[in-house]
Structure 1
Amino acid sequence: MARGRDKGLIRLRDEALCRRYYYWTERQRLRFDDALRILSEREFFISEERIMAIVRRMVREGRDNSLKPVPKVKMPRLTNDQLSLFPEL
């Protein structure tokens, strides 16, 4: 007998999560961060980071073509030359 979480149940949860993410972002037109908060705090009780990881994985695997995950936000790196363009206050 296998130990740990049931892979079939995890797959079903991930599919349901993606359907709900699509519902909140596309049908209800919520911002993605508001949709993540609802999914995290009211519906699935897992972290927002984990939800985005699941959505990204499902999109990468091509299971649902209607989902488009939000890209990871990277902080811009400013150089001293770029900062010198702004006058000091």
Structure 2
Amino acid sequence: MSRGRNKHLIEQRNAALIRRYYYWTELQRLRFDDALKILSEQEFFLSEERIMAIIRQACRECRELKVQPVPKVRRPRITAAQLALFAGE
């Protein structure tokens, strides 16, 4: 018999953690740091760093979600001449 933690139970825990993270961030619309605090202190009793590591690993492994980084939004550059148009108001 192998020693150590049961890999199947760890996989089930990680899957449940991902589902709960989705619930708190997407359905309840909590900020991710607030969701991490709840998961860490009330539900799974793991450190926030460990929870983030589990979430990052799940994102790397799950190809069907097609998680893409959010593109950078460029701010338009406003010239002094453009600002002068609003000075008359």
* Structure 1 length-normalised TM: 0.71
Partner of 2:87: none
Residue 3 of structure 1 aligns to a residue whose secondary structure is: coil
* Structure 2 length-normalised TM: 0.71
CA separation of 1:43/1:33 partners in 2, compared to 1, >3 Å: closer, same or farther? same
Cα distance in 1, alignment partners of residues 64 and 24 from structure 2: 16
Is residue 2:9 matched to residue 1:3?
Answer: no
Structure 2: tracts of 5 or more residues without a match: 69-89
1:15-26 pair list within 5 angstroms: 15-26=15-26
Residue 42 of structure 1 aligns to a residue whose secondary structure is: helix
Q: Which runs of 4+ in 1 moved over 4 A?
A: none
Give the Å deviation of 1:64.
6.6
**What's the % identity of the aligned pairs?**
68
Calculate the aligned-residue CA RMSD, in Å.
1.9
Cα distance in 1, alignment partners of residues 19 and 65 from structure 2: 11
Give the Å deviation of 1:66.
7.9
The structure having more radius of gyration, on CA atoms, is 2
Partner of 2:51: 51
Amino acid at match of 1:36: L
